[in-house]
Amino acid sequence: MKAQKFNYSSLKELKADLKELDFELPLSENTKILNEELKINNRLIPNRIAIHPMEGADAEADGTPSELTKRRYKRFANGGAGLIWLEAIAVDKAGRANESQLYLKQENLAQFKDLIKLIKNESEVDPYTVAQLTHSGRFGENNIIAFNDQELDPVSIAENDFHIITDEELDQLQLDYLKAAELAAEAGFDAVDIKSCHRYLLSSLLAAYDRKGKYGGTYENRTRFLKETIMKVKNKVDIDLAVRLNIYDAIPGGWATDQDGNPDLAEAAKLLKELEELGVKLINVTASTPYLKPHVNRPYDNGGYQPPEHPLLGVKRLLELTKFTKENLNQTLVIGTGFSWLRQYGANAAAGMVAADWTDLAGFGRQAFAYPDFARDILQKGEMDSTKVCISCSKCAELKAAKKKAGCVIRDREIYLPIYRELQQEKELNNLSAASS
């Protein structure tokens, strides 16, 4: 299928292209099933719509939520989603992606408590909240890596400007995750995500086939950090456990990936079952890394990086990975990924997939940036407004990659269009400088 931008004016047209892809995606014109609640331990998730962790890169220098951070979560809370999975929160200073990433510590615990109170007070549905705990690894300012990687080194670290984290440092990092989980529980979060995706540090360890020591080589060693950290939190902290997980890396020789970059999901299926046995209550589905293959985890139409495939193929891949994840779990809830590119029809795909038992909840990321009250429209009106939806232009991703404050340049232009224009001007100046040197 030839690559093209979204151009569907009806479900009938979308179904025709899905048929061409031989993809039997369940689409439902009745979205009422998304209003159903879910029980998780003694807590209710009030509906089947989730907001994915979307980094705004706008924290204060010490990692405290800024006024712009609070504005974003106030808008999400007002929007009516039943679950809000907050953006990446660093567990230590060395693991921050940049100086504008959230960082939870004892000194700013009160401000995180206030953020959770704001979300709860602004929402009519009392959303379930997840804290995404992270270490940015090779994509952080300190260039900390688990091993040298011929695919990722060229796009993430400078030659001889990196640190291969030691086993002893990883042992200590487990304790940093535990401390962050304790603080998250005190702040009022319902769950913590031991983030293992997009080839940040923990995700990278899953692919550490050539690393020596107890955190590399065998399957047991490569999954050791994730599982031991989960056990530490489970044994010490009264909070639900979640994982945003790369189901596969889509990088040759990566996690659950063959040498050609195709999925080889036997280890992924095994890990999913083990995470459920360890007590993980939520799995949030994703794949690959936006730093190398953004079209895999975020199908889109435009941008400096040209997708090598029709975006609908990317949607198909993510939704099939969601179905695979659901099929390999019994009790753990699954949050599906891949709906935003479908614009207003993402609601129909979400409802159809929940009804067909392909997923338990539908997660929307970029859509929430562009259209923060999308969930309310689905739940109350049965559909999304086509004039408000994300147009998958990738400008929010460009801002985040450039370590700028990130949001929707199109739908929230008063704040983010000037920042985007500033970025474009910087790029032009850099190009001129490079041309004259």
Q: Give the bridge partners for 363, in sequence order.
A: 50
Of the options 3.30.230.20, 3.90.550.10, 3.20.20.70, 3.30.9.100, the CATH number for the domain spanning 11-396: 3.20.20.70
pLDDT at residue number 335: 98
As a whole number of angstroms, the distance between CA 328 and CA 318 comes to 16
Radius of gyration of the chain (CA): 20
Domain ranges of the chain: 11-396
Pairing of strands 128-134, 361-364: unpaired
Start-end of H helices in 138-223: 153-156, 167-187, 201-206, 219-222
Q: Is the pTM of this model over 0.75?
A: yes
Closest among 280, 299, 302 to 288, alpha carbons compared: 299
As a whole number of angstroms, the distance between CA 36 and CA 276 comes to 23
Give pLDDT tens digits along the chain (437 positions).
666 789 999 999 999 999 999 999 999 999 999 999 999 988 999 999 999 999 999 999 999 999 999 999 999 999 999 999 999 999 999 999 999 999 999 999 999 999 999 999 999 999 999 999 999 999 999 999 999 999 999 999 988 899 999 999 999 999 999 999 999 999 999 999 999 999 999 999 999 999 999 999 999 999 999 999 999 999 999 999 999 999 999 999 999 999 999 999 999 999 999 999 999 999 999 999 999 999 999 998 876 667 889 999 999 999 999 999 999 999 999 999 999 999 999 999 999 999 999 999 999 999 999 999 999 999 999 999 999 999 999 999 999 989 999 999 999 999 999 999 999 999 888 888 777 76
Burial 75-84 (b: 16+ CB within 10 A, else e): bbbbbbbbbb
Start-end of H helices in 123-166: 153-156
Closest among 339, 347, 291, 348 to 316, alpha carbons compared: 339
Specify whether the CB–CB gap between 135 and 91 falls below 8 A: yes
As a whole number of angstroms, the distance between CA 260 and CA 381 comes to 45
Query: CA angle at residue 341 from 255 to 428, to 5 degrees?
Result: 85
DSSP string, 321-386: HHHHHHHT-SSSEEEE---GGGGGGHHHHHHHHHHTTS-SEEEESHHHHH-TTHHHHHHHHSS--T
CA distances from 421 to 72, 277, 390 (A): 21, 49, 19
pLDDT at residue number 2: 66
3-state secondary structure at position 161: strand
